[in-house]
Structure 1
Amino acid sequence: MSIERKAIVRGGLGLLAAVVLGVGLLGNFAGSAPVPGEDANRYPNRPVKIIVPVSAGGSADKLARTVAQKLGEKWNQSVVVENQPGGSSAIGNAAVAHARGDGYTLLLAGDALSLNALQPGKLSYDPLRDLRGVTKAVVNPQLLVVRPGLGVRTFQEFVELVRRRPGEISLALPGGAGSLQHLAVELLNERIGAKTNQIPYPGGGPATLDVLGGHVDAMLITLAAATENVRSGKLVALAVTTPYRSKALPDVPTVQEAGLADYTVESWQGFSVPASTPRAIVDRIHRDVVAVLREPDTSALLENLGFTIAASTPEAVDQTVRDDIATYRRVIVSADVQLK
C-alpha cells in the first residue's frame, strides 16, 4: 500500500492492545520451535486450516475460500477456512503466529500485519519474528460506495454533502479502527477539509449489511468485496483509491480523476505461516498456491471480483510488511498522530 500524503489517525489503533495481550497464551507459543520430521513430499497428509482474521462475507473471506477449494482439490485433502475476527485482525494473526509450524495452519494475511505492529501497547506476537510469508496473492484498490438512498451519484457530490454536513455522514470501516480503511478515510477527510462519522466493523460482511440496510451512509471497502452489490445496483460506487481504474468496474473513476491529486491507497492480501515452518513446507505451499492463483478459471474469477493477481515470492511478503511498517510510522510521525 502506498500513501502519498499525510494522514491523521486519532485513537483508533490503540484499542487493540487490551484485546490481544492474552492471545499469545493460546498454543503456549507452540510455533517457537522448529518442527522435526516434516516431509514436503508427503505434505499435506491431513486437513489444513486457513485462518481469516476478519468476519465471513468480505473480500478476504472470498479469496481464502476460493484458494481453499482449489488447494483441497489439488492436495486431495480438506482445507478449512476458519474466521477469527477481532482486534483489527490482531486476534487471528496472533493465533497463527503462535500455532505449530508444521504447515497445517495458514494465515490469510494483509495490511493489518504492518498496522498492528505500530500499537502503543505490546502485541503478543511480532509479525516479522513470528510469521513468515508464503505469497502476496493479490493487490486491490479500496472502493468508496454509498447507499442509493443517500442521493449522491458522484464523488464530487459526496464531498459536497460531507462539507455541508460535517460529522453527520456515517461511513463504515470494514477493517475496524486502526485499519487501512481508517487510515485512508482520515487521509480523505484531511484532503476534503471535513470529517465523516466513522463506524468501525470487524469485517466487510457486517459492514456491508448495515450499508445495504440503510443504517450507514457510506463505506470504504476492498473493491472485490463490493463488486456484486455495485453491479446489482444495491450500492453506488463513487471512486477507487488507486491511480488506476479496476477492470472489474471500469466505469468507476479514481479519486485522483475526481479531483484529489496524489491520493493513492493500495492494499494486499496473501498467505503467511508460523515462522518455525520448515522452508521446504513453505516452498511447497507457495508453489501450489501460486499454481492455483494462475489457473485461468481462478484468476478470471478473482480479477472479475476486483483483485489483481500478484503471486509473489515468500520474501516479497516479508519485505512488504517491513516496508509498510516504516511507511505507516513515517505517516504517524509526520502527521503528529497520538496513538492511545
Structure 2
Amino acid sequence: MLRRNLLRALLVLSPAMLAAQPLAATAADATFPARPVRIVVPVAPGGSADKLARTLATRLSEVWQQPVVVDNVVGASGTIGAAQVAKARPDGHVLLLGGEGVTLNASLYKNLPYDTSHAFRGVTKAVVNPQVLVVRPDLGVRSFQDYLALARRKPGELALGLPGNGGIAHVAHEMLSRQLGFKVNYIPYAGGAPATVDLLGGHIDATLITLAAVTDYVRAGKLTALAVTTPYRSRALPQVPTLAEAGAAGFSVESWQGLLAPAATPAAVVDRISRDVAAVLHAPATRSQLEDAGYVVVASSAQELDATLSRDLPRYAAVIASSGIALR
C-alpha cells in the first residue's frame, strides 16, 4: 500500500517538477530589473563605446522604469572594468559594454583576474563597427591595390598609425599583411583620435580605424578610404569596397560592441535584456542615427554573441602568438 501511494504521489508531482524550471525562468524574467542597472564601460567617456552605452542607458531606463547608469571604469586596456563585471552578482543588474577587446585581452594579458572563456555570457552584439583602411590623399594611393603595391615596393616604410597597440586594428592589419605578404611600420597611438590628427596633418601615411571615427573626413575628401574589413560594405560609405572585394580573398574581421553579463546570469534574464536592447536599437530614430555614423545595427541574440566569443578567442590568440604582438 505504501509503495502504491508513493508511486501515485510521484506521478502527481512529476508534471509540477517538470514545469518548475520554466516557471522559475519566467519569474526571473518578470522581476527584472528589481533595482537600478549599471553598465560598466571599460574606456574613457566620449568614445564610441561610451556613446553607445549612454544611448542604450537612456532608452532602457524608459523601457524598464528603472535608472540605468553608465559607469566608466578605465585602465589596463579594459580589464579592470571587465573584472568588476565578472565578479558581480549574476542577476543582470551589472553589465559590461564590451567588444572584441574582451577576446584580445585574453591573449595579451597573462595574469587576468578572471578566465575569459568562463567569466561571461553574451547578452547581445549590439553593433558592428567596420574597420576602414584610410590614407592621406597626397600619398597618391587611390585603391587598396595601389596601397598593396606601394607597401611591397617599399617594405616596412609605410607609416601606419594604430589606435592602440594590440587592439583590433593591429591584429586585423597583421592578419592582412600576413595573408598578402607585405610589411608596414606600425606607429601605436593612445587612441584613434590622435592617430587621425597625425594622419590629417601628413605625419603618417595611413591608419586602420573604426569607420565611424573618420566617416566625415572621408566624405569631405580629407582622407581616402580604401576598404573595410567586414564581409559587407557600409551603408555610410557604400562606395568603399570590402577587403575581400579589393583583393584579400575571404578576409573578414568584425569589430563589435555589445553587452555581456556574468556567466551565471539566468538565461531568462539574459534573453529579456537582449530582446529589450533589440527593440531599442531597431527604433527608427536610433537605428538611423547609428547607421549614418557608420555603425551596423545587429542586435543579435545571446547565443549568437556566445558563438562570436567562442570563435574569436582561438582565432585572435593564434595571430597574437605567431606575430609576437605584445603590449608596450
TM-score (norm 2): 0.78
Picking from 70, 76, 101, the partner of 2:59 is: 70
Structure 1: runs of 5+ lacking an equivalent: 1-36
Picking from 294, 306, 313, the partner of 1:306 is: 294
1:146 maps onto 2:146 in alignment? no
1:41 maps onto 2:10 in alignment? no
Structure 2: runs of 5+ lacking an equivalent: 1-26
Compare the two structures and name the one with the higher helix fraction. 2
Query: In 1, Cα distance between the equivalents of 2:313 and 2:165?
Result: 17
**Which structure is richer in relative contact order (CA contacts within 8 A, separation 6 or more)?**
1
Structure with the greater alpha carbon radius of gyration:
2
Q: CA deviation at 1:77?
A: 4.4
Give the conservation status (yes or no) of the 8 Å contact 1:54–1:202: no
1:114 maps onto 2:103 in alignment? yes
Aligned CA distance change for structure 1 residues 213 and 95 (closer, same or farther; 3 Å): farther
Superposed CA deviations along residues 12-47 of structure 1, whole A, max 9, x for unmatched, are xxxxxxxxxxxxxxxxxxxxxxxxx9885362533x
Q: CA deviation at 1:331?
A: 4.9
Superposed CA deviations along residues 214-251 of structure 1, whole A, max 9, x for unmatched, are 44332112223332332233332111122322121111
Query: In 1, Cα distance between the equivalents of 2:316 and 2:203?
Result: 31
Q: CA deviation at 1:131?
A: 1.6
Could you say which residue in structure 2 is the equivalent of 1:238?
226
Query: Which residue identity is paired with 1:197?
Result: N
- What is the aligned-residue identity percentage? 56
Q: CA deviation at 1:167?
A: 2.5
1:181 maps onto 2:169 in alignment? yes
Q: CA deviation at 1:54?
A: 3.4
Could you say which residue in structure 1 is the equivalent of 2:49?
60
1:224 maps onto 2:212 in alignment? yes
Give the conservation status (yes or no) of the 8 Å contact 2:104–2:317: no
1:94 maps onto 2:68 in alignment? no
Give the conservation status (yes or no) of the 8 Å contact 2:35–2:93: no
Q: List aligned pairs for 1:1-340, cutoff 5 A.
A: 40-41=30-31, 43=33, 45-46=35-36, 48-119=37-108, 121-174=110-163, 176-331=164-319, 336-338=322-324
Query: In 1, Cα distance between the equivalents of 2:181 and 2:247?
Result: 13
Query: Which residue identity is paired with 1:97?
Result: A
TM-score (norm 1): 0.76
Q: CA deviation at 1:272?
A: 0.6
Query: In 1, Cα distance between the equivalents of 2:44 and 2:158?
Result: 24
Superposed CA RMSD in Å reads 2.9
Aligned CA distance change for structure 1 residues 130 and 187 (closer, same or farther; 3 Å): closer
